[in-house]
Amino acid sequence: MSEKVHKTEEQWRAELTPERYEVLRRKGTERPFTGELNANKEAGSYRCAGCGSELFGSDAKFDSGTGWPSFWQPKSTDAVSTEEDRGLFMRRTEVLCSTCEGHLGHVFDDGPDPTGLRYCINSAALTFEPGE
């Protein structure tokens, strides 16, 4: 696992676009079907837009029809962490980057085999690195 990244809110605000700051640091959500990586079908790695940590591989990406990039598992067991989210009068499981603790999205138990999970991730929280 990568060494933790700690920055001030001023540093994050200076380094991230306004949309990325809203999602990663303020737990925002982009509108469905608006993210540039939702329809991406290229082979490669999805990395945290805040710190560059590798989070998901294209081999675990699937089209969930929800309007956000969806994955059935992270790249490694320690790439992401989760915590309970009781916002918006709902009970959900928030997904965070383990390295910088940036908000990525949420995980649900309605995904495909073999895990049955759907990591529903904001495009604004990710960058894509083409590869095999």
65/33 Cα distance (integer angstroms) = 9
Residue type, 79: A
Closest to 65 measured CA to CA, from 129, 127, 108 = 108
Say whether 100 is catalytic.
Answer: no
Closest to 73 measured CA to CA, from 38, 40, 113, 122 = 113
Among the listed residues 48, 97, 100, 120, the single catalytic one is 120
85/108 Cα distance (integer angstroms) = 12
DSSP state of 39: T
Yes or no: say if 69 and 115 are a contact pair by the CB < 8 Å rule: no
Measure CA 49 to chain center.
9
**Residues involved in catalysis:** 120
